[in-house]
Structures are given as structure tokens and as C-alpha cells.
A and B are shown apart, each in its own frame.
Chain A
Amino acid sequence: MSSVWLPCGNYHENYVIDQGWWQTRVIKGKMILLLAIVFIGIPLFASEYWVGVATMIGYTAMGAMGVQLLIGYTGLITLGHAAFIAVGAYTSTLLVLQFPWPQFLLDWGLAYPISILIGGLVAGIWSVLFGLPCAKVKGFYLILTTMAAQFITVDFVITQYVSQIGGRGQAFSLPPGTIKIGPWIIDSDVKSYYLMAIMLTLIVIIFANLLRSRPGRAWVAIRDNDIAAEALGINIVWYKLIAFFVAGFMGGLAGAFWVSNTAALSPEHFPWFLSLWLVGVILIGGAGSIHGAIFGSIFMVLIMELLQMAVIPISDYYPQLLINFAYLKDSIFGLAICIFLIYEPNGLAYRWWQIKNYFNLWPFSY
């Protein structure tokens, strides 16, 4: 974690303060303000459309967290994370649709929350399965096994077999009322947004706490130099597998959430493009920081929305543009990744860190 220079006059006097969540009162205030904006401000003042966009950002961020853990903190490059999101989504949906839930669980609205957790667990285990080669292979060879995870899981297992369960055809749709948490039925954009905000907050809290405990330090050590880490007594295979599990778990949660947002599910929601998109998100946001994943999601989703808005007026003159917009979008996404990698290789989080430090030390910055 890149440490921030504290404003003048603040000192860390003991370890507890040094490791604290909110190190000064200002930071605490800022975070509470942020939470207030997320939980009260956006749903209250934003229009339905922008709440939908915010939900999309949250979904991307949840998916990107797992990628951030693998790439940014453990140094295991993954190009197949959409597979684990898909596993979570399908597990959760199939549980909701097919599992003979006892009536009292349905009445209490616990079926969907339980299925979210189980979806996360199954995705985590599935992820460990494909993480197993990390015991022996590294670098590019490992990248290719994660790619294999994507193709085997989504294009083969899910499309050919899992989608056939129940004989509904390829696309699943959830009847209204099945996605129910406690007394609330998730059926509107705002409710979906709240579910996203709560899940994302929980994921961030769990992730940040993991990072400042033993596994987190082990992961960072492995990322920085795995041989040195092994020499220090860290069981690197074990911790890499834990990283795969946690990343898959978070991906699975994201997938299970996605079901509530769309109430429909099909293998096309989880193409290889999504895996690469998530990696692009964390690289643009900044690898190796939690808020980097969130910055990246905000940036990428907003850029795409703005592009869409910009294209609509032009399309009066050149209708081909709107028809082929999806392709242009891919192209611009690719170009954005290239430009960021060349000119801003540390991502938005680094820029944010610089700005924050500038104001923390202002006006005497040295």
C-alpha cells in the first residue's frame, strides 16, 4: 500500500495507529462523506439512468477487485477472470431456480443471499482448480492457463452443459420476485444499486483487512520477489492458491450480484472480452491499490457512456457510426489501454496519490 504523507503535525505514535484505517480526523470525515454520498446522495439526487450507470461501475469494480488481488497484489497475471464471475452467476441462479428451498427460507427471503455466498464459494473453488498450475509454472505459461480457464469454463462447460440444465435453452431468466433479500424484492434500479453498494463496501472492507493481515503481507512479498518470499518461510504455493480462492470468491459475488441487476443470464454476458476489460480497468486505475480498481471502473464506464452520448448527435449525419458503435467502442478501449500504458503506466491511483500529497504538504512541499 502506498503510504500517504500525513499533514504536518501528525505522527504515528504506535503500531495500532500506523495500521489504522482512518489515520486522521480529516480522513475519517472524508470517508464518512464518501459513504454518505454513495448511500444517500446518489440514489436521492441522480436520475434512474445514472443510478444504472453507477450500478454498472460497482459491478465492474467488484469484478476488478479479484483481478486486482491477483495481478496487483500477488503478481499472478490472470486473463480469465470472467470465467469465475460466470461460475458465481450460474451457481447462484441455478440455486435460486432449481434448489428445493424449504418454505421458511423463502418466506424470510434468505434464498438469494445464501445463493450469493454459495456462488462465491463455488467460484473460489473453481478458481483454485485453475490456479493449481501456479505451483509449477510462472509468467506467461500461467497466463495461458488462466486463458484456458476462460475458454473451458465459459465456452464449453457453461455454454454446452450448465446452460442446458432445466431445459430452458441457453439464456436463463429469473421470474420476478425470486430475487428477494429479506423483505425486499430487488426489482428496481435503485434497489439493485443499494445491493451493489452494500456488497462493494463489504468486499472492500474484507479485502483491505486481508491486505493488512498475514495473507496480505505474504501476497505482497510474493509479488515483489517470490524466491525471497519463499526463503523467508512463506509457503508460496499455499498463499498463491489462497489468492486464487479469494479472487474467485470475489468474482463469484460479483457474478451473483449481476443476476439481480439483469434478472437474466446468458453465456454471452461473460466473454473473454470481459476478462481483458477487467485487467484493463485495473491497469488504468493503477495496479496495487484498492481505490485504483474503483477509479478504473469509474473511468472506463464513464468514458463509454460519454462516447455513446457523443456519438448520438453525430449519427444523424453518419448513421453507420451508431450501428457499428460497439466495434468502435472496442477499438477506443484498446487505444485507451495503450495510451495509458505508454503515458501513465502507474494509473490513475498514482496521480491521485500525487495530488493528495501535494495538498497534504501544501504550501511547503519539501
Chain B
Amino acid sequence: MELFLMTLVTGLLVGGIYSLVALGWVLIYKCSGVLNLAMGELTLIGAYVTLTFYQMGIPFVLSVLLTLLVGIVLGYMTERIFLDKLIGEPILTVIMLTVGLSFFFKGIIEFLWGTDTRVFTPPIFALKPISIGYLRISPVYLWSFILAIVLLIVFVAFFKYTRWGLSMQATADDETAALSLGVSARFVYAAAWAIAFMSAGVGGALLGNINGVNISVGYLGLLVLPAVVLGGLNSVPGAIVGGIIVGLLENFSGTYLDQYFPGGVKQIMPFAFMAVFLLFRPYGLWGWERIERV
């Protein structure tokens, strides 16, 4: 029972981080229809940039804020340089462009920072686990979760209540109508990419705190894809729930299935579950069903 509860809590906490990254993904998809496969590399960039700032002696929270700034700049530039030219092209072209971008970013990251695992030194969070009742939770997970949730709320609030957020929603809903009302679609696309870079960057920084920063953080960023598919591609609550489902799946399979299938079952489970789940609910939990006509 204790093991079960521990797994549940850890899964929920890690899932919170995935939710944050998944939110960035869904924002891009909703606003500009781009299916982004470079999400893993965006998390990597975030992790390394935060690490670099932190090693320069800047406090962690400030480094995260600086990462957000870098994220805005990079996201804006990416959209302007690469994706702006492909608006209205077929889906495969845009997807492959993001694949190309992912190679581009990954190569640059490996070129600049190498492939060794780096850790945040000195450690940011205390190593001694916090005890709540008979649960023992590592503070890294708890604080990451809290930070992720705070940012999640900030992003959702931005999306719901600010002028820019509302114009993004309008574009997501009906691009032509939004254009006719004076919303600049190009600005919205750039803003969506900036937010995606920001959320992925912070997600990467937090994930990097848990396991150390190396290329495998990019793989954790890829886990966002099953998350958004489980939730349904164009649903913000779906992304959040999907992220938590992925976190739970990962940890439960790590705890209970690893003894039967030793090796990487933890990493594979979200993908395997997703593939089976799609057979029963082809549009995820809350994705829009596409009605097609000839």
C-alpha cells in the first residue's frame, strides 16, 4: 500500500511537469495547426540554458526567469525564420520541418554542451525527503510540481484573461474571423511558439533537476506526445490530464512491471498504452472529432 501511494504521488508530481510542457505543445497546435515534433529538443534547450545560468552563479529562480526570456527570443526567431514561410503548406511538410528543427537544435546542443550528464551543483533542493504522514517525497519532485502548477496557472490565466491570450484563442477558434477583427495572426503564431519554448524550457529545467541534464531529458520531452494524444490534440484540459496520465503510467509501470519485463518498460509504457488507447478512442479523451467530406 505504501509503495502504491508513493508511486501514485510521484507519478502525479512528475505528471505535473509533463502537463506544463504538453500545454505548450497544445498551444502551438491550437493557434497555428503545427504538429510539433521538436518538443524534446525544446526541453533540452531549456535544461541546458538554465544549467548554464545557474553555474554562472545566478540563483535558480532567477535562472528560470532568464530561461523564460531566452525562450521568448528563441521561440519568436524560430517562428519567424522557419515556420512563417510554411503557413498553409501540407501537414507533412510542416511536421518534417519541425523534425528538421529538432535535428538542428539537438546537433547544436550537443556541439555546445557535449553529451556528458551534468548536474546542478550545488544542489538546489535538499536531498532529505519530506515526510507527509507515512509518505516520503523527495523535495525535488514536490517543488518542481509546485513550480509547474504555478506556471500552468499563469499560462492558462494569460490565455483566458489577457488581450494577447484572447487574440490567441480567437485565432485558434477561427483564423479568418480573427483576422477580420484585426488580430495579427503572425503575432499570434510567434506568441504561441514563444510560450511553447517557455513552457518546454521550464519543464526541461525541472526534469533536469530530477535526473541530471543530458540528452535523455529530450526523450522525456518526447513523452509529451503521448500526453497530448491521450488528452486529445486540441484540448488544454486534455493536455494537463494527459500529462498526469503519462506521469502515472510511467511510474506505475516502473514500479510494478519492471520485475516482469526488465529494462526500459518505464519509457515504453506511455507509447504502448497510447497505441492501444487510440484503437478505442481515435481522438483521445477530448480531441475534436474531424468530420470529413469529399
- Measured CB to CB, the residues of A under 8 A from B are 71, 77, 79, 130, 132-133, 136-141, 143-145, 147-149, 151-152, 155-156, 159-160, 225, 227-228, 231, 273, 276, 279-280, 283, 287, 324, 327-338, 341-342, 345
Task: Say whether chain B's binding surface is mostly helix, strand, loop, or mixed.
Answer: helix
Residues of A within 8 A of B89 (CB): 341, 345
Residues of chain A within 8 A (CB-CB) of B264 are: 155-156, 159-160
In the complex, are the beta carbons of A276 and B275 less than 8 A apart? no
Of listed A138, A145, A333, residue having the most chain B CB within 10 A: A145
Complex-state Cα separation, A328 to B104, whole angstroms: 8
Instruction: Mark B182-205 against chain A: 1 for CB-CB distance below 8 A, else 0.
Output: 000000000000000000000000
Q: Which of A139, A145, A333 contacts B91 (CB 8 A)?
A: A139
* Cα distance, A114 to B283, chains bound together (Å): 42
Given contacts A145-B275, A151-B268, A227-B294, contact A338 B107 (CB under 8 A): no
Bound-state Cα–Cα, A77 to B102, Å: 18
Q: Closest Cβ of chain A: how far from B195's Cβ, in Å?
A: 20
A342 touches B263 (CB 8 A): no
How many angstroms between the C-alpha atoms of A279 and B103 in the bound complex? 13
- How many whole Å from A196's CB to the nearest CB in chain B? 26
List, in ascending order, chain B residues with CB within 8 A of A147's CB: 225, 271
- How far, in Å, is B162 (CB) from chain A's closest CB? 29
Asked whether B138 is an interface residue with its Cβ less than 8 Å from the other chain, the reply is no
Given contacts A144-B225, A156-B264, contact A345 B35 (CB under 8 A): no
- Interface pair B271/A331, CB less than 8 Å apart: no
Number of interface residues of B (CB under 8 A): 49
Q: Are A341 and B93 in contact (CB under 8 A)?
A: yes
Cβ proximity bits B250-294 to A, threshold 8 Å, 1 near / 0 not: 000000000001111101100110110011001110000010111
Chain A residues whose CB sits within 8 angstroms of the CB of B110 once the complex forms:
324, 327, 330
B150 at the interface (CB under 8 A from A): no
Chain B proximity of A288: nearest CB distance (Å): 11
A149 proximity list for chain B (CB < 8 A): 275
Check A155/B268 contact, CB under 8 A, given A144-B225, A227-B294: yes
Known: A160-B263, A338-B104. A152 touches B268 (CB 8 A): yes
Asked if B274 and A156 make an inter-chain contact with CB atoms under 8 angstroms apart, the answer reads no
The count of A-to-B residue pairs whose CB atoms sit within 8 angstroms is 150
Interface residues of B (CB under 8 A from A): 35, 37, 82, 85-86, 89, 91-93, 95-97, 99-108, 110-111, 114, 225-226, 229, 233, 261-265, 267-268, 271-272, 274-275, 278-279, 282-284, 290, 292-294
Cβ 8 A contact of B82, one of A148, A342, A345: A342
Contacts of A141 in B (CB 8 A): 229, 233, 278, 282-284
Minimum distance in angstroms from A2 CB to a CB of chain B: 17
List 10 A-B pairs, minimum CB-CB distance, nearest first. Answer: A331-B107, A334-B103, A337-B100, A334-B104, A160-B263, A330-B107, A327-B110, A148-B271, A338-B100, A148-B275
Contact call B95/A144, Cβ cutoff below 8 A: no
Most chain A Cβ neighbours within 10 Å, of B85, B100, B278, B293: B100
Docked CA distance A151–B92 (Å): 21
Closest chain-B Cβ to A97's Cβ sits at a distance in Å of 22
- Chain B residue, CB-CB nearest to A321: B111
Contact A328 B107 (CB under 8 A): yes
14 of the cross-chain contacts (CB-CB < 8 Å) are A79-B99, A139-B91, A140-B35, A143-B35, A145-B274, A152-B268, A152-B275, A160-B264, A327-B106, A333-B107, A334-B100, A334-B101, A337-B99, A345-B93
Contacts of A328 in B (CB 8 A): 107, 111
